[in-house]
Structure 1
């Protein structure tokens, strides 16, 4: 099992987040000059028009997960261009938000507190007094509660 995140590692994560281009970041679906797809991460929202180069500004792009011309030379290992772009774009706001949640209580955490290897259920049951009043997010399609151990058995 890996070691828990150290204070030094947390500071390094914070430094990387602070050094990156300010957000928010967005997924963009564009074309190059030959109408080959380009999926990227931008500081400007997607228009839905699939603009073709040079109708979009390259300086607004921070990363690309798919570039197909003259051949797919940025394509990723598993064809998850859209998903990877969404992950990168959301990381710009997700990482600072998670850091803001973690940092205020970082020094007071129990010495045994480690996110790795526990899974969210283990983390909750090991370190929080109760999850009996868990209120699922309204957008969740399927709600899981800590009080229904048979629910997981029915799904598998």
Structure 2
């Protein structure tokens, strides 16, 4: 088996395939006192990995291998979740084509370049109006309610009247290619 290189990106699909090909779990550690051996096994007996003599201090290795059956699947799910969140954040960050606005029904508003900044600004607007400016007031449990045009900040599930939305900015971005000429063209 080829050892992964430390700087190489993780091949999540290959890791997932190996996890799916492994014996189903749960796995657990057994110690056989008759022949003084330690095993990682399944309840139905379809897996038996011998870690040798009980005195060889393999307790940690056996526990690690037994837990890997469920840990790898949980870690894969979390990495995929975080990658999706990162991709979403990258798509919603400043591109020169839109801005984010945080505002309250009472009129306070601010423009931001990213969704994360706009959410932070919305929390600040709500904190200043409801909690006398405290940055993270005690008892404040933020949440977000998706609407057709943006997000509304929730405080412990209650509507606040503070919103976040993305607005498109029209015109050419500096990274856009030069537009093709329009109208009749003549040879030079």
TM-score, normalization by structure 1? 0.45
Higher normalized strand content (fraction of residues): 2
Tell me which structure has the larger Cα radius of gyration.
2
